């Protein structure tokens, strides 16, 4: 626990409280074409996944092929909703200012959307050359490619990395990459989810507040 050299953050639902916004926007658009999803379906099948994966899953589950312009329409709607409602997760800026080791971001979202979200929330001051997106690898989460790519670019061995994720697909990706992973469940989309949901998973720990890291992994945080 004391030998970590790199923190890898997922973005949506971890750094920014965006997944609730994404869910509402996606649910509304899907209803217009006759598809109804609930919170459980979104968390299981969409959370932490690339749009391509979501599209294929919806086709398999509902036998409906999304319109060609669906992704563009969805992203345009998200930009407007983000500008109005997007905020960071509680205390994340304080944590980023207190980390004693390098950190980066690895997300399934597109680079333009990610950079826009970082700018809106003011997190762009912490992330510049340390942003990695799924477009840079052959396979997105739950494959380990993105996390391995981020570690390689940051010059750190996988076993020296600690990942913070909110999605089960992201957790699987981190474990497949040979990295330790904690599940952050402080985003608004997971607040009603029981922390004991992961009680059967002995290889990762779930937590709700960033300030808990002072006890969970004190070696990565300055005690000044």
pLDDT in tens, the chain (224 residues): 459 999 999 999 999 999 889 889 999 999 999 999 998 898 888 887 778 888 899 999 999 989 989 988 988 888 899 999 999 999 999 999 999 999 999 999 889 989 999 999 999 999 988 999 999 999 999 999 999 999 999 999 999 999 999 998 999 999 999 999 999 999 988 887 777 654 445 567 899 999 999 999 999 998 65
Looking at residue 2, its pLDDT comes to 59
Residues 8, 164 contacting (CB under 8 angstroms): yes
Cα end-to-end span (Å), the chain: 20
Strands 6-9 and 102-107: parallel
pTM of structure: 0.87
Domains within the chain, CATH numbers bracketed: 6-18+87-220 (3.40.50.1000), 19-85 (1.10.150.240)
Tokens 């690895």 locate to 106
**Dist. CA 120–CA 115, nearest whole Å:** 9
CA-to-CA dists, residue 53 to 5, 57, 74, 87, angstroms? 31, 6, 15, 26
Looking at residue 57, its pLDDT comes to 92
| 3-state DSSP assignment of residue 177 | coil
Tokens 């790519």 locate to 149
Q: Which two tokens stand for residue 163?
A: 């990942």
Q: Which two tokens stand for residue 54?
A: 């979501």
Residues 146, 8 contacting (CB under 8 angstroms): no
Residues 49, 169 contacting (CB under 8 angstroms): yes
């Amino acid at each position: 626990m004391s030998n970590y050299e790199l923190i890898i953050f997922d973005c949506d639902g971890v750094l920014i409280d965006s997944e609730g916004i994404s869910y509402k926007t996606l649910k509304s658009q899907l209803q217009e074409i006759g598809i109804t999803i609930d919170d459980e379906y979104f968390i299981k099948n969409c959370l932490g996944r690339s749009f391509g994966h979501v599209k294929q899953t919806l086709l398999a589950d509902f036998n409906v092929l999304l319109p060609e312009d669906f992704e563009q329409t969805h992203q345009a709607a998200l930009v407007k909703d983000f500008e109005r409602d997007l905020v960071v997760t509680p205390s994340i800026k304080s944590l980023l200012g207190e980390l004693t080791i390098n950190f980066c971001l690895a997300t399934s979202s597109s680079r333009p959307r990610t950079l826009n979200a970082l700018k809106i929330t003011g997190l762009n001051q912490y992330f510049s050359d340390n942003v990695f997106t799924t477009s840079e690898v052959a396979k997105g989460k739950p494959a380990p490619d993105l996390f391995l790519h981020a570690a390689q670019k940051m010059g750190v061995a996988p076993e020296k990395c600690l990942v913070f994720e909110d999605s089960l697909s992201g957790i699987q990706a981190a474990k497949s990459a040979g990295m330790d992973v904690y599940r952050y469940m402080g985003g608004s989309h997971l607040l009603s989810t029981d922390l004991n949901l992961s009680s059967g998973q002995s290889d990762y720990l779930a937590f709700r507040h960033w300030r808990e890291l002072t006890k969970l992994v004190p070696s990565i945080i300055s005690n000044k």
